[in-house]
């Protein structure tokens, strides 16, 4: 246990700065607000915070379109506010990692403004500019991940620039040594200030095929509304030449060397699930997310077993797993895994899974009180530009009626998981002062028990469960450091596994079923002492022979 690094022991909590706490009453979260909530986070029992982008941005991709890599968005505060937040977090033993967006900047970034000013601009090659195809039109048939062509013409200079995402997010050209040096300087700027590492945005798309070869997916691209609807094979054929290109691993190694030059074990977490980003296990990224776990519509014991078997076997020696069930791009845990009848029990079950699997867990703000997906009422409320582009494609090329396209957009926009944190039951849920228009509406369920204030004093609440589980993990070395050993005899309705290590052996039994389950303890020695149960069992009690599990029950017990 002692030999583990802090980021192997830590539980991370992702904060979406715009939505966490509004300190100055303008309807938008900020650093003063976040700093005032650090005690809450400490008491919750998390160890590290990941902040989604906090940089100046026109906010067309919710901050992932940056105009200054070493600044703070004015609506979030000043650099001094940031430094005070960091100091206060560190004073409470909370680490802080930032979101480093390497693939692209905003088209409003001074670098891009200069780059597009003329073909002979000294920063022309900081972005990816190409002449039109011989017969006119874009240089090739590549697609933006947010839909539509990946090339946009700049009429003034007659060339196209490349963007893997929105046209307002031009791709940076990492083959330019000067660009690379400027970006590494930006990374050092924050490391010098004392941040504990970075979550690396969209790393797969940093390089493109230098020969710009067309993709060969035989599809009517004009009719394709959303690349995420493709099968994995189709997606690979479509995007293969726009992602995971040579040079990427070398670049990650460079960045690793850069952070390793700092004291204090700074960490790099890649927004990707590809285990090759661990490199040798020591020389690229410390953590990459286990997205295949998260992306299942329903998690079943079979899915988790297969997922763990595959990923743990493929992990290079020295590398460490990392699991998450929700973030700012995906439905909220409550809504994704809920079934309408057992939502609260399912939320508990999924947290228990996340905190007992081997690896570093990442939680998403608001998950701990059961925040649900926000249902926006009108297109005008949508802030996620990618969703609005999709709407336009649905109505345009997709031929979908506007009412239906609106319904689809409101049901799928990423805004739904980015709503204001629900601190209390009062107006604006205590996120902003009463009467202020918040940047996204507050979920009405804040008035119905889904708030910190409503749950904080109640150990039986979801928040109480999160605190208990986080405390259990902290007090149970095997749950952090132990190996993972599946118990296949648990059957279909139940996932059971051992976490063995650090002088301890723990049995984790998770019922994924709405009816009673039983787990034969024979294979693990016939008996176990209860450490934790979601139902009201006496902790410390001995279970012998068979462990009976109620619907969706969670049990952690110690062997031996
Ligand atoms: C990542 C971010 C997502 C963003 C995209 C482009 O996938 O998580 O929110 O839209 O990159 O920056």
Q: Which residue has the higher pLDDT, 448 or 560?
A: 448
Please report, rounded to a whole number, the percentage of residues in the chain having pLDDT higher than 90: 92
User: How much is the pLDDT for 560?
Assistant: 85
User: How much is the pLDDT for 251?
Assistant: 98
Pairing of strands 287-288, 267-270: parallel
User: How much is the pLDDT for 222?
Assistant: 73
pLDDT grade for 286, boundaries at 50, 70 and 90:
very high
User: How much is the pLDDT for 538?
Assistant: 81
* Mean pLDDT value across residues 520-526: 95
Atom of ligand 1 nearest to the CA of 166: 6
* Mean pLDDT value across residues 167-175: 98
Pocket (CB within 6 angstroms of ligand 1): 61, 64, 101, 165, 201-202, 271, 328-329
- Given 196, 201, 208, 373, which residue is catalytic? 201
91-100, 183-192, 392-401: lowest mean pLDDT where? 392-401
- Given 65, 168, 196, 271, which residue is catalytic? 271
Examine the residue annotation and report whether 30 is marked as an active-site residue of this protein. Answer: no
- Ligand 1 mutation target, pool 101, 102, 201, most atoms within 8 A of CB: 201
The string of pLDDT tens digits covering residues 218-228 is 887 777 778 88
158: left (phi over 0), alpha (psi -120 to 50) or beta: left
* pLDDT tops 90 at residue 297: no
pTM attached to this predicted model = 0.97
User: How much is the pLDDT for 227?
Assistant: 86
* Mean pLDDT value across residues 454-462: 96
* pLDDT tops 90 at residue 539: no
* Mean pLDDT value across residues 476-499: 94
User: How much is the pLDDT for 361?
Assistant: 98
- Identify which of 278, 312, 272 has the alpha carbon closest to the alpha carbon of residue 294: 272
* pLDDT tops 90 at residue 229: no
Q: What angle do CA 16, 20, 23 make, to 5 degrees?
A: 130
User: CB–CB of 102/206 below 8 Å?
Assistant: yes
* Mean pLDDT value across residues 339-348: 96
* pLDDT tops 90 at residue 198: yes
Token pair listed for 321:
């797993």
User: How much is the pLDDT for 220?
Assistant: 79
Please report, rounded to a whole number, the percentage of residues in the chain having pLDDT higher than 70: 100
- CA–CA separation, 341 and 300 (whole Å): 17
Minimal-distance CA residue to ligand 1 atom 12: 64
- Ligand 1 mutation target, pool 14, 61, 103, 415, most atoms within 8 A of CB: 61
* Mean pLDDT value across residues 176-180: 98
* pLDDT tops 80 at residue 4: yes
Residue 506: how many CA atoms within 13 Å on its side-chain side?
29
pLDDT grade for 408, boundaries at 50, 70 and 90:
very high
Average pLDDT, the chain: 96
* Mean pLDDT value across residues 98-107: 98
* pLDDT tops 80 at residue 467: yes
User: How much is the pLDDT for 417?
Assistant: 98
* Mean pLDDT value across residues 382-395: 94
User: How much is the pLDDT for 235?
Assistant: 92
* pLDDT tops 90 at residue 323: yes
Q: Is 329 helix (H, G, I), strand (E, B) or coil?
A: coil
- CA–CA separation, 171 and 163 (whole Å): 5
Examine the residue annotation and report whether 271 is marked as an active-site residue of this protein. Answer: yes
Strand order in the sheet with 151-154: 129-130, 159-162, 151-154
* pLDDT tops 80 at residue 2: no
- Ligand 1 mutation target, pool 18, 19, 57, 64, most atoms within 8 A of CB: 64
* pLDDT tops 90 at residue 39: yes
């Amino acid at each position: 246990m002692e030999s583990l690094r802090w980021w192997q022991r830590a539980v991370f909590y992702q904060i979406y700065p715009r939505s966490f706490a509004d300190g100055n009453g303008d309807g938008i979260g900020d650093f003063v607000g976040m700093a005032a909530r650090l005690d809450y986070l400490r008491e919750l029992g998390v160890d590290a915070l990941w902040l989604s982008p906090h940089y100046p941005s026109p906010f067309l991709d919710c901050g992932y379109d940056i105009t200054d890599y070493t600044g703070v968005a004015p609506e979030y505060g000043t650099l001094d506010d940031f430094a005070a937040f960091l100091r206060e977090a560190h004073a409470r033993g909370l680490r802080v990692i930032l979101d480093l967006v390497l693939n692209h900047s905003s088209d409003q970034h001074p670098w891009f403004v200069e780059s597009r000013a003329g073909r002979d601009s000294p920063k022309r090659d900081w972005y990816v500019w190409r002449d039109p195809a011989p017969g006119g039109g874009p240089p090739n048939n590549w697609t933006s991940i947010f839909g539509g062509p990946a090339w946009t013409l700049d009429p003034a200079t007659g060339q196209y620039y490349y963007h893997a995402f929105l046209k307002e997010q031009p791709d940076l050209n990492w083959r330019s040594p000067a660009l690379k040096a400027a970006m590494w300087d930006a990374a050092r700027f924050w490391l010098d200030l004392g941040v504990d590492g970075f979550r690396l945005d969209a790393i797969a798309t940093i390089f493109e095929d230098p020969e710009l070869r067309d993709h060969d997916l035989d599809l009517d691209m004009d009719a394709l509304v959303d690349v995420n609807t493709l099968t994995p094979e189709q997606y690979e054929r479509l995007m293969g030449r726009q992602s995971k290109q040579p040079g990427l691993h070398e670049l990650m190694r460079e960045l690793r060397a850069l952070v390793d030059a700092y004291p204090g074990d700074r960490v790099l977490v890649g927004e990707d699930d590809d285990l090759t980003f661990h490199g040798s296990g020591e020389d690229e990224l410390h953590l990459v997310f286990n997205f295949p776990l998260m992306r299942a519509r329903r998690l079943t014991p079979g899915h988790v077993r297969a997922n763990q078997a595959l990923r743990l076997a493929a992990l290079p020696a020295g590398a460490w797993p990392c699991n998450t069930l929700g973030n700012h791009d995906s439905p909220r845990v409550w809504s994704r895994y809920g079934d309408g009848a057992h939502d609260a029990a399912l939320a508990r079950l999924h947290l228990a899974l996340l905190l007992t699997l081997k690896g570093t867990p990442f939680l998403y703000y608001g998950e701990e009180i059961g925040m649900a997906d926000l249902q926006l009422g009108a297109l005008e409320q949508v802030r996620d530009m990618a969703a609005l582009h999709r709407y336009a494609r649905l109505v345009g090329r997709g031929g979908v009626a506007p009412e239906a396209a609106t319904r689809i957009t409101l049901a799928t926009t990423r805004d739904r998981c980015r709503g204001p944190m629900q601190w209390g039951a009062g107006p604006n849920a205590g996120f902003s002062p009463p009467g202020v228009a918040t940047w996204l509406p507050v979920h009405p369920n804040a008035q119905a028990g889904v708030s910190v204030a409503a749950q904080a004093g109640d150990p039986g609440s979801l928040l109480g469960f999160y605190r208990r589980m986080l405390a259990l993990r902290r007090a149970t070395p095997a749950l952090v450091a132990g190996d993972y050993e599946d118990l296949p005899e648990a059957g279909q309705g139940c996932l059971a596994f051992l976490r063995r290590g650090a002088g301890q052996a723990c049995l984790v039994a998770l019922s994924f079923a709405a009816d009673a389950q039983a787990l034969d303890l024979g294979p693990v020695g016939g008996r176990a002492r209860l450490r934790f149960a979601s139902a009201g069992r006496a902790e410390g009690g001995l279970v012998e022979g068979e462990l009976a599990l109620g619907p969706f029950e969670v049990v952690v017990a110690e062997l031996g």
